[in-house]
Chains A and B, each alone.
Chain A
Amino acid sequence: MDGVFAQLIVLGASGMLLTGLIVLWRRGVPAYITAYRWQSWLLSGLTAAVGYLGHEPQLYWIAALLFLLKGIALPLLMSATERRFGTHRELRPYVNTEVSLLIGGVLVLFAYVLTRPWMAVTELPTRGGLPIAMALLFISLFIIVSRKKAITQVIGFLMLENAVALLAVVGTYGVPLLVELGVFLDALMGFLVMQIFIYDIHETFETIDVEQLARLKH
């Protein structure tokens, strides 16, 4: 039974990685928001599953919180932002889609190679999720540096935060509730601050394309 659970957890982590890749593949902010929502739901389900597997009841609370905050509240806020600025037209990233996807594949490979020593020493049944969490981390960073719209970069940042949470859950069976709460609040504050930034960028430049920020130099 534990074997099945471990497989399910690795599968869920892979699903989260997949939502990261969907951001690289699709164009248009609504698809990104949907991907983020699914990713958060998966993360919440995973946290509950790890709580069951490791007999850690407090992970259930974290899972519920994750679901409410990242699965429902943040996507709703993002949709509101997206509606206000009407940015759902095609985004032109710095790197085209095919190359982005291939770079994503290389990043995943890199993550697997990087976590090899870690995998060798750990005996956790969820260790299959470690390289995947690391890969999601790299892919989120890549999303942040390769996309032009501020809102996409915010989604990249939120996915980065999800990746860190995933890493904590599969690598150590979760951190204490207090620390987790602090991280949540940080993420929420970060998101709100970024939203204000997006709003100001939009006010000043009439667009949220960050390339336009180069005009600040003149």
Chain B
Amino acid sequence: MGEYVSVFVQTLLAVALAPALTGFICWLKARLQGRWGAPAWQPYFELRKLFAKELVVSQTASWLFQVAPFVAFGTSVVVASLVPLVFVPMASDRTGDLFAAVYLLLLGTFFLALAGLDTGSPFGGMGSSREMTVVALTEPTVALSVFALALTAGSTNFGEIALRTLAQPESVLGPAHVFGFTALFIVTLAETGRLPIDNPSTHLELTMIHEAMVLEYSGPYLALIEWASSLKLFIFLALAANLFVPWGIARTLAPLALLGGLAALVLKLLILAVAVAVLETRVAKLRLFRVPELLSASFVLALLAVMSTFFVR
């Protein structure tokens, strides 16, 4: 019973902390570019503002348009409850594993793409088409980099994978780990709409991907979508951190261990957030037609990771 309570608390924590992570990346980017930047907790104010606003829905929109934000947010929350954040093994490990998490996240993206098409506005359709192109290319990479880990651990269960890495610390230096991590990081950038694939701060019609897709949304729906996408970034980064470098994660439910796990999680997320911010300051957005090159590079990396575990055992 205690386990389920902790999973619940952990999920709430992820949902509560996710906007701060996005805000922190924005703030750090601003500082790196020589601007003051809004504080890291700015996204909370924005969410409050959006929730207080009036809901405007296009007359041509069907029920799909109204359902999509809830699906996107709901799937993100469910995945947050499946991913090991502060401690392993979790009670929910028995119901969800890598495949469940990855495809639940995709379900949210799928519904957002449908909603983008639903209103019939040209920008929404364009955004959906681009998002689907990117997702179709990242999909094999996600599956493969996940396979690489699952093959080493002999299980697709998050807890098993993390525990196996903890038991064999030298395997972190293996190509499966390093390439898998790099591939997953590139995919994270693509899936969460960061540079160099998509620019999260742009509203220039020609370059938008994710923003074009959700252009029709306003008010509370937009707030849900924004929250879901920052939660998605949080989940992907936490997944990369805890599966590939699981040290510091709590293995019992003792309060001290949990506190240590939380501190380790925050530290790892901060490091990854700094990496994302520095990368976004250094690189320019890729032309849309060069995105497949980057994604096929990440695919080949994931393929290498799988091969190095599959053939060398």
Q: Which residues of A contact B (CB under 8 A)?
A: 3-4, 7-8, 10-11, 14, 17-18, 21, 25, 97-98, 101-102, 104-105, 108-109, 112-113, 116, 119, 127-128, 131-132
**Contacts A14-B178, A17-B304, A98-B293; A3 near B170 (Cβ below 8 A):** yes
How many inter-chain residue pairs (CB < 8 Å) link A and B? 66
Q: Are B171 and A21 in contact (CB under 8 A)?
A: no
Contacts of A116 in B (CB 8 A): 311
* Set of chain B residues within 8 Å of A98, measured between Cβ atoms: 292-293, 296
Q: Are A25 and B170 in contact (CB under 8 A)?
A: no
A128 adjacent to B312 (CB under 8 Å): yes
Chain B residues near A109: list those with CB within 8 A.
Answer: 303, 307
Contacts of A104 on B, CB cut-off 8 Å? 300
Give the dominant DSSP class at A's interface: helix
Are B179 and A14 neighbours in the complex by a CB distance under 8 Å? yes
When A21-B297, A102-B296 are in contact, do A7 and B170 touch as well, CB less than 8 Å? yes
Q: Does B27 contact A (CB under 8 A)?
A: no
Known contacts A25-B293, A119-B312; decide if A11 and B300 are in contact (CB<8 Å): no
Q: Quick check: A10 and B175 within 8 Å, CB to CB?
A: yes
Interface SS majority for chain B: helix
Contacts of B171 in A (CB 8 A): 7
Q: Given the complex, which residues of A lie within 8 Å of B175, measured CB to CB?
A: 10-11, 14, 132
Q: Does B299 contact A (CB under 8 A)?
A: yes
Q: Chain A nearest CB: distance from B173 CB in Å?
A: 4
User: Which of chain B's residues 108-146 have a Cβ closer than 8 Å to chain A?
Assistant: none
CB distance from A31 to the nearest CB of B (A): 13
Q: Are B312 and A108 in contact (CB under 8 A)?
A: no
**In residues 255-313 of chain B, which contact A (Cβ within 8 Å)?**
292-293, 296-297, 299-301, 303-304, 307-308, 311-312
**In the complex, A8 Cα to B178 Cα: how many Å?**
11
* Given A11-B174, A14-B178, A119-B312, A108:B296 Cβ within 8 A: no
A119: chain B residues at CB < 8 Å are: 311-312
- The 18 sampled A-B contact pairs (Cβ below 8 Å) are A10-B308, A10-B312, A11-B175, A14-B175, A14-B179, A14-B308, A21-B297, A21-B300, A98-B293, A105-B300, A105-B304, A108-B304, A109-B307, A128-B308, A131-B311, A131-B312, A132-B175, A132-B308
The smallest C-beta distance from A80 to any residue of chain B, in angstroms, reads 28
Contact present for B173 and A8 (CB under 8 Å): yes
Residues of B within 8 A of A113 (CB): 311
B92 to chain A, nearest CB (A): 32
Cα of A17 to Cα of B308 in the assembled complex, Å: 12
B52 to chain A, nearest CB (A): 46
Q: What residues on B are CB-neighbors of A128 within 8 Å?
A: 308, 312
CB nearest neighbor in A for B304: A108
Give the residues in chain B near A108, CB-CB below 8 Å. 300, 303-304, 307
Q: How far is the CA of A116 from the CA of B179 in the complex (A)?
A: 21
Min CB distance B190 to A, Å, is: 15
Binary interface profile of B, 144-176, with partner A (CB < 8 Å = 1, else 0)?
Answer: 000000000000000000000000001101110
CB A110 to nearest CB in B, in angstroms, measures 10
Chain A residues lying within 8 Å of B307, measured Cβ to Cβ, are: 108-109, 112, 131
Given contacts A131-B311, A131-B312, contact A25 B297 (CB under 8 A): yes
Q: How far is the CB of B148 from chain A (nearest CB, A)?
A: 12
